[in-house]
């Protein structure tokens, strides 16, 4: 069994859609980034890659490559899954936490789990998504952005 940890953070930007776990969430601002800036999926991809001893998502999907401009992070997650599969890895379970003051994440968790489940061929029962606030402290607490952490357990 191998484990990996991932962390990602993006600042909010007006005029962008908020995509989290592949789900569009109604919000006056979205996350800023080269792709769709799905902070949850970015943390998950780094956790999976780290568990396999591979480089981070910036290596696989550089933000200088126009091919990834605005791309769905769920699509990128599928590519990461394929990379692990090619190396003989299987995903055991994943555990993720979103950190943001707003919007409320709970109503969207089941849809997020479904999207992730399809992309990495993992039962939803093995996918945990939690949400918390930063208790109004720091840049996350001021609502300037959103962060996510993920742990992935894989086996060979």
Q: What is the pLDDT of residues 83-117, one digit of tens each?
A: 999 999 999 999 999 999 999 999 999 999 999 99
**What's the pLDDT at 141?**
94
**What's the pLDDT at 3?**
98
The C-alpha atoms of residue 9 and residue 21 are separated, in whole angstroms, by 14
**What's the pLDDT at 53?**
97
**What's the pLDDT at 154?**
98
What is the secondary structure of 34-67 as a DSSP string? SS---HHHHHHHHHHHHHTT---HHHHS-TT-GG
122-145 pLDDT, tens digit per residue, is: 999 999 999 999 999 999 999 999
**What's the pLDDT at 83?**
96
Q: Say what percent of the chain tops pLDDT 90.
A: 99
Domains in the chain, CATH or no CATH each: 2-155 (3.30.1330.50)
**What's the pLDDT at 142?**
95
**What's the pLDDT at 60?**
94
28 half-sphere exposure, CB direction, 13 A CA radius: 3
């Amino acid at each position: 069994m191998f484990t990996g940890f991932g962390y990602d953070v993006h600042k909010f930007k007006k005029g962008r859609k908020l995509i989290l776990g592949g789900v569009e969430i109604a919000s006056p601002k979205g996350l800023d980034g080269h792709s769709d800036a799905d902070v949850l999926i970015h943390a998950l991809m780094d956790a999976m890659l780290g568990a396999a001893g591979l480089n981070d998502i910036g290596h696989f999907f550089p933000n200088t490559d126009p091919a990834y401009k605005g791309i769905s992070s769920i699509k990128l997650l599928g590519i990461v899954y394929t990379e692990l599969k090619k190396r003989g890895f299987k995903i055991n379970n994943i555990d993720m936490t979103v950190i943001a003051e707003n919007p409320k994440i709970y109503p969207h968790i089941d849809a997020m789990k479904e999207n992730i489940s399809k992309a990495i061929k993992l039962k939803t029962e093995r996918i945990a998504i939690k949400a918390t606030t930063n208790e109004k402290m720091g840049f996350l607490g001021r609502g300037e952005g959103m962060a996510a952490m993920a742990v992935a357990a894989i086996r060979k």
